[in-house]
Amino acid sequence: MVLIEVFKGSVFGKLGLITLAFFVLVALIGPYIAPYDPWKTGSSADEILSSPTFSHPLGTDELGRDILSQIIYGARISLLVGFASASIAMVVGTTIGVLAGYFGGKLDALLMRVVDVFLSMPFLILAIVVVALLGRSLTNIMLAIGLTQWTRTARITRSQTLTVKERVFVLRGRALGATHFYLMTRHILPNVLPLVFANTTLVISLSILSEAFLSFLGLGDPTKFSWGITIRYAFQTGAASMGAWWYFLPAGLCIMVVVLSFTFISNALDEYFNPKLRSKKRMI
Amino acid sequence: MDYLRKRAIQSLVTIFLILVVNFVLFRVIPGNPVRILIRGPGMTQEIIDKYTKLFGLNKPLHVQFYRYILETFQGNLGISFSYQQPVMGILLERLYNTLILLFPATLISIGLGMLLGIISAWKRGSKIDYFLQIFSLGFWSIPTFWLGMIFIMVFGGYFAVGGMSTPGMDYPNLFAYLKDLFNHMFLPALTLALIMHGQYFMIMRSQLIEELTESYTQTAKAKGLAPTSILEKHTVPNAMLPMTTLISVNIAILIAGFITIETVFSWPGLGTLIYKAILQRDYPILQGVLLFLAVSVVFANFAADIIYSQIDPRVKYE
């Protein structure tokens, strides 16, 4: 089990893994553990913007909706967007990186040019325009984030491919008449993937932050709750100047803890699969 | 020279492609642009035809594209739906306010990131190192607007939390104006600086550790140089090289940061402009600001690479 090896030496990696497992569990069984329907509005004046009470552990919003339930339902959307966007980025980035590195030449130059263009695009602005123009659905948000995050993956994959394709087993495979497709999927990909995974966990962090960013600007899916959307409602209600801390603190804390967890995991993976980093740079 | 020319051509191609993306995006919006522009009942076919012709939307696509490029280079970014004014004028006015906020925030974040990075690298493996890493990573993991809201809640009583100046205030002298500006700027600038310093911290730390294990550092140590003078004269200048290229890495955080932080603190810059444009579906503003920011990023990258190649001769041989 490589995974056990990876996290054996890293305290923070373990911490990240455990925290993340907790949040994933909450997201999966969310509807069963949420005390209320997050859309259910309050029935009495006491329930409007109430601070934490016994029946509402994290208080309520300006419509009397339960904040804890919003956070639990929000975990589903925030994590879903994180995983889905990062998967899109991973598939696109790896494909382009392997193709560019493996074939080299004109194709490589062309693809890397595309990467450069995407890198110099301020991708969040691009995501704003794409979602604002094409509609605020969850799919559009995932696509907008995913299709702007693949560049780093592509670069890492390409440079890994460049070294792997000169290795003896690949040359031997080619001499034996293996097809390009076979070499790329059976020989190159397995050797490139570990670093790609390390990078992808970092992309998940960025995607979760990006979703919160878009939601805050009013580009979130209005039919769902996510952590970013709860913070947006809190901002629109003026929770900060009213001192209604229970309205926006929990959602932001969740984002911070989850993003940190992914970063820890990514560092642990990176350090394991990238021996140059080991001992020398040694991040937490 | 070759490197410079290559990078210049790359940048131009990038700008051209950004123009293409910008052009295409506006044309895939569901619905007819004329209908979006004139939102109102009683639109007759006659009016639609008139405006379609006026905006040149009846011409073939390549003619429209040519016109678009031409107008863009003449500084015409269209007319804002909600302001009914040229986008360019609004943009320039707001840009000034944004820069006033971003300049000090960026300086503080670079200074803070470098300082903490040096301490962390020098004391690596110690408790201080761990604490500083958690500190920087922690701020990196926070949505900027959320930190801004916390600051408003906690420090709202001590500093102004809305706009750039006190409404209706008459300033007797420049000093009074600057004091008021500082009062308004403090919290948003602090929020941005804290969020942004993480990237500088991480790069500084890892680069410095790299340099500290290089043989020239060992030589300096063997020669009996004091640790502070090794840092100051030898390793820090070398470790700072990649910081120049970090402009491009950090720009995403910077952009996300200033858009939301301006919104939270109602700072009248490009960020609030974007926020309102989203609410009001003011597409020309969105398009204009996208184009402007994208081109600025390309220029910033280009400048960073040129500076880097000038101060680090190794780059040219790659």
Check CB contact under 8 Å for A260 and B255.
no
With a cut of 70, list the residues of chain A below it in pLDDT: 1-3, 120-122, 274-284
* Cα gap A107→A101, rounded to integer Å: 9
What was the pLDDT predicted at A95? 92
Check CB contact under 8 Å for B153 and A235.
no
What was the pLDDT predicted at A231? 92
Query: What is the nearest CA distance from A118 to chain B, expressed in angstroms?
Result: 9
Domain layout of chain B by residue ranges:
16-73, 92-311
Query: What is the nearest CA distance from A278 to chain B, expressed in angstroms?
Result: 12
Query: What number is the average pLDDT over the span B170-196?
Result: 86
Of residues B29, B275, B294, nearest to A133 (C-beta): B29
Residue B44 confidence (pLDDT) above 70: yes
Q: Regarding predicted confidence, which is higher, A233 or B314? A: A233
- pTM to 2 decimals? 0.87
**pLDDT tens column, B11-29:** 888 888 888 877 887 776 6
* Cα gap A117→A140, rounded to integer Å: 21
Chain B contacts in chain A segment 177-206 (CB below 8 A): 205
Check CB contact under 8 Å for A119 and B248.
yes
Q: Establish if B133 touches chain A: CB-CB under 8 angstroms.
A: yes
Check CB contact under 8 Å for B137 and A249.
no
Q: Establish if A278 touches chain B: CB-CB under 8 angstroms.
A: no
Residue B102 confidence (pLDDT) above 80: yes
What was the pLDDT predicted at B317? 44
Residue B58 confidence (pLDDT) above 50: yes
Query: What is the nearest CA distance from B279 to chain A, expressed in angstroms?
Result: 7
In this prediction, residue B30 has a pLDDT band, given cuts at 50, 70 and 90, of low
Architecture of the CATH domain B92-311 = Orthogonal Bundle (1.10)
User: Which among A11, A15, A119, A120 is the top mutation candidate for probing chain B, defined by the most B β-carbons within 10 Å of its own β-carbon?
Assistant: A120
Q: Establish if B149 touches chain A: CB-CB under 8 angstroms.
A: yes
What was the pLDDT predicted at A259? 92
